[in-house]
Amino acid sequence: MKNLTHRERVLLLACFLVIFTVANLFAIRFMKKNWGGGESEITALEGNLADLEMWLEEAPEFEAKDRWLRKNTPRENSMTKAQGDLLQFLQDDLFQRKIKIEKQTLQEPDSNDDYQEVAVSLRIRGAEKDVIEWLTTLQGAKKFQVIKALELELDRKSREDTPQAVCQIVLARWFAPPGEEYEEVEPAPEVTKEVVKPTSSDPATSG
């Protein structure tokens, strides 16, 4: 059986939420009319309904983010090449900033249904100001990089004129899942929510 894509799982979850919301609406109406479930059960169902309505309101935002990710996440067929490119990028950047790499290690690539990941572990040493400035450049909306681990400390034994820092960091870069192709998807139709209004026949409103 073919695994569902991330978009298909999001849409399937939205469908389940709609179905569950409608079921809760009918359950609340039925329980209020028949007063068989008690006040506590009704309160619990109303709380669940409020949570589901919040999810439905935020669904368009989540779908927009999902489309943006599927369109902009970089694609790479070879994780070996991607990891080598990441290490080369870091080496060149640190060299230009005059930050020394004391140790470097390639992490085991990771792959799942949502993304592929390559990572590099570095131990670096340099001027504290330069190291901190470099750290601020590593993450960004379109970089698809994440700092997975970070240790930063001052080198108190240094004889340099400027404060020195030693940093141990694991930096990962993310790519689209293997074989996923991006295609423009129409946004999901807006869900109209039914509002339950009490009637005079409801036990809760009848003196």
Q: DSSP state, 139?
A: -
d(CA 184, CA 76): 20
pLDDT at 187: 47
Q: Which residues does 119 contact at the CB level (< 8 Å), separation at least 6?
A: 83, 86, 106, 107, 109, 110, 148, 170, 171, 172, 173
pLDDT of residue 21: 77
Count of CB atoms within 10 A of residue 174's CB?
19
Indicate the CATH number for domain 79-175.
3.30.70.60
The tokens of 144 are what?
A: 């698809």
Q: DSSP letter at 77?
A: S
pLDDT digits (tens, 9 = 90+) for 5-27: 767 677 777 777 777 777 777 67
Mean pLDDT calculated for residue range 53-72: 78
Sequence-separated (6 or more) residues with CB below 8 Å from residue 120 = 83, 86, 87, 90, 104, 105, 106, 107, 170, 171
Cα dihedral 7/142/138/108 (nearest 10):
40
Secondary structure (3-state) at 32: helix
Are 116 and 144 within 8 A, CB to CB?
no
pLDDT at residue 47 in the model: 77
pLDDT of residue 2: 58
Phi-psi region of 27 (alpha: psi -120 to 50; beta: other; left: phi over 0): alpha
Both tokens assigned to 2: 């073919």
Say what percent of the chain tops pLDDT 70. Answer: 74
From residue 156, alpha-carbon distances to 70, 122, 125 in Å are: 46, 20, 12
In degrees rounded to 5, what are phi and psi of residue 117? Answer: -135, 135
Give tens-digit pLDDT for 157-173: 777 788 999 999 999 99
